[in-house]
A and B are shown apart, each in its own frame.
Chain A
Amino acid sequence: AQSVTQLGSHVSVSEGALVLLRCNYSSSVPPYLFWYVQYPNQGLQLLLKYTSAATLVKGINGFEAEFKKSETSFHLTKPSAHMSDAAEYFCAVSEGEVPNNLFFGTGTRLTVIP
């Protein structure tokens, strides 16, 4: 069965500092992996996705994630945090037979301190 684990339900960084949100997945086959972002009172929107074309994936708003098969990880990073990055971030993995069926992690709330 597919699953993802997000380490840290809350992460705080200073404005301009590195953002690192951790995600580990469990999958018996190479998965599709995703990061979605949820701004306050909004639905989720796709930040980036990994589909085996390249291990380093670039997304919107300066975020990127690196797929590391040996570590079963797909951590999300951004070199310099901006106040507008404050949101909840969800890592997700897709089920093999129905790729649109996503299994989400429990989420990490990012706070950016001015």
Chain B
Amino acid sequence: EAQVTQNPRYLITVTGKKLTVTCSQNMNHEYMSWYRQDPGLGLRQIYYSMNVEVTDKGDVPEGYKVSRKEKRNFPLILESPSPNQTSLYFCASSLSNTGELFFGEGSRLTVL
């Protein structure tokens, strides 16, 4: 089954404790992206990747890192999480360059 898989789906952590949210897609998509969803703000793009070893900042990259060492994986790294990074995170991928994104089911992160 074609899918984008995120882990963990739920996480409660404390300020400053490094964490990684993994994202993997099995559709051989070149493009991948991370969004955060906050009430009243919709989805905002954090980082995106056009292909392996090619990443770029989105609208809200501060406090986040990403890497793209393999086509299928695009992990999101929070080196020192803070409470304002409490949010619902979505990974997405796309085969074509037409805006048709496939989304994972989301990772709800709470930073205390």
Contact = CB atoms under 8 A, between A and B. Distances in A.
Interface in A66-111: 90, 92, 94, 98-107
Interface stretch (B13-21, B68-76, B78-86, B94-102): B94-102
A68 B52 CA distance: 38
B67 to A, nearest CB: 19
B48 A98 contact: yes
Interface residues of A, number: 25
Interface in A6-47: 9, 32, 34, 36, 41-46
Given A44-B92, A46-B101, 18 more contacts: A32-B98, A32-B99, A36-B101, A43-B4, A43-B92, A43-B103, A43-B106, A44-B43, A98-B50, A99-B98, A100-B97, A100-B99, A101-B33, A102-B45, A102-B101, A104-B42, A104-B43, A106-B42
A75 B4 CA distance: 29
A94 B99 contact: yes
Interface of A: 9, 32, 34, 36, 41-46, 49, 51, 90, 92, 94, 98-107
Nearest to A90: B42
27 contacts: A9-B40, A32-B99, A34-B99, A42-B105, A42-B106, A43-B106, A44-B90, A44-B101, A45-B103, A49-B99, A90-B43, A92-B99, A94-B99, A98-B48, A98-B50, A100-B33, A100-B94, A100-B97, A100-B98, A101-B58, A104-B42, A104-B43, A105-B42, A106-B40, A106-B41, A106-B42, A107-B42
